[in-house]
Amino acid sequence: MPINLLSATECKNATSNGATIRKLSDGDGLYLWVYLNGRKYWRMRYWQVGMEKSLSVGVYPKVSLSDARKKRSEVCGQLQADLDPSAERKSVSLRKKLSAENSFETVAREWYTKQLHTWVEHHASDVKRRLERNIFPTLGKRPIADIEAAELLQTIRKIEVRGAHDLAHRVLQVCGQVFRYGIATGRCTRNLSTDLRGALTPHKKQHQAAVRPGELPDLLRAIAKYDVTGGKQTRLALQLLAHTFVRTNELIGAEWVEFDLKHALWIIPASRMKMRAEHAVPLSRQALVMLDELKEISSGSRFVFPGRNRDKPISNNTMLFALYRLGYKGKMTGHGFRAVASTILNETGFNPDVIERQLAHCERNEIRGAYNRAEYLPERKRMMQKWADRLEKLEAGADVIPMTGRA
């Protein structure tokens, strides 16, 4: 055991006595270096292969006398094991750095950044929130290669305990994408999400509510009278949604600059589309009339559907709550207009590829690249006008001659 030459009081009261550096020994190579400016540092001198070396032990008083002696014991133990304390320290530092660089959170955020340009804003926000709330608190700092399937399952099951079974499956799916990225970048060798297949509570996906085709006329007539209980802008939003069957967030975020009214086209930029590809929506005669009314209501705002703050669009819930007030809670949603249009158009003989393209369901692939916004455009223009004519007649209660996909 080393001879303890220093006391806690001596360390506290030590000065350099006017010297630039004063070195106070505690034995076995441990010294307290006291500088002229009053700062104090612990250092350890040791000999290896006939060479004298020095190692920083810490700053006093953050590292106390007792702490310094413990570190001295560690260094002595390494020397007895024929290890170089300086090299061991560098190795530990490197491992910590690599561990931080290869942590699940670091890999996940790197993957997220790579994917960000392919996602619409709300989806990117969902992915980030799911990781930050459900995974990072427990697994974020763990090296991705060291995580075991049981650890991941335990973390995901905390989501299930909350009754959020659909979210649990979605979070596991995101984790699987992170692990695949980790494999591709050499940070891990296994995708643990595949090991957990069948381990979560099965969840039956619930489709968003939509009226049946036979119920559409009553819905259209109820919307047409919405001005009585609600606002004209909301009524027009619901009608335009029915006529264009775009996604709700695509409609409420619409800006006037996106519309080519002369050519009856609405070009939704890629940044607002789910598939991150520009989308063309042919505008029927009826849709153009609605837009003319909305132009007056918007009062110079850049948004077609400005909210109370004219620099922001209406809320996501505006149309949903309007449907609630019309008595369609649990029966119809904004997304439901897409389902109804798809059902009727497919049943009346339109080309399925034309319908899918208008719904912007077409997937992109690495070989083909982004699809052409004008794909099937002449056919889509004819289809959208026929669809608008049908909705107009259904709302009026007139006998409707079945549509056909033929021009």
Q: Catalytic residue numbers? A: 247, 274, 335, 338, 361, 371
- Judge contact between 219 and 344, C-beta under 8 A: no
Which uninterrupted H or E stretch holds 71? helix 65-80
Please give the distance of CA 165 from its chain centroid, rounded to a whole number: 19
Cβ neighbours of residue 94 under 8 Å, at least 6 residues apart? none
| Cis peptide, bond prior to residue 306, ω within 30 of zero | no
- Indicate left, alpha or beta for 300 from its phi (over 0: left) and psi (-120 to 50: alpha): left
Residue 131 token pair: 């990781």
DSSP label at residue 403: P
- Judge contact between 337 and 209, C-beta under 8 A: no
- Judge contact between 89 and 55, C-beta under 8 A: yes
Residue 169 token pair: 């499956």
